Amino acid sequence: MSTYLEYRLKLKNEGLPPKDKKIHRTKPYSDKREKINREYAKMSRPVWEPGVFANKKRN
Distance CA 54, CA 47 (A): 8
Q: Residue ranges of the domains in the chain?
A: 22-49
The residues near 10 (Cβ < 8 Å, ≥ 6 apart) are none
List, as one string, the DSSP characters of 2-48.
Answer: -HHHHHHHHHHHH---TTTSPP----SS-HHHHHHHHHHHHHTS-TT
Mean pLDDT to the nearest integer, 34-56:
73
Tell me the per-residue pLDDT of 18-34, one tens digit each, with 9 for 90 and over.
666 677 788 888 999 99
Q: Could you read off the pLDDT of 5-22 as tens digits, one per residue?
A: 888 888 888 876 666 667
pTM over 0.85: no
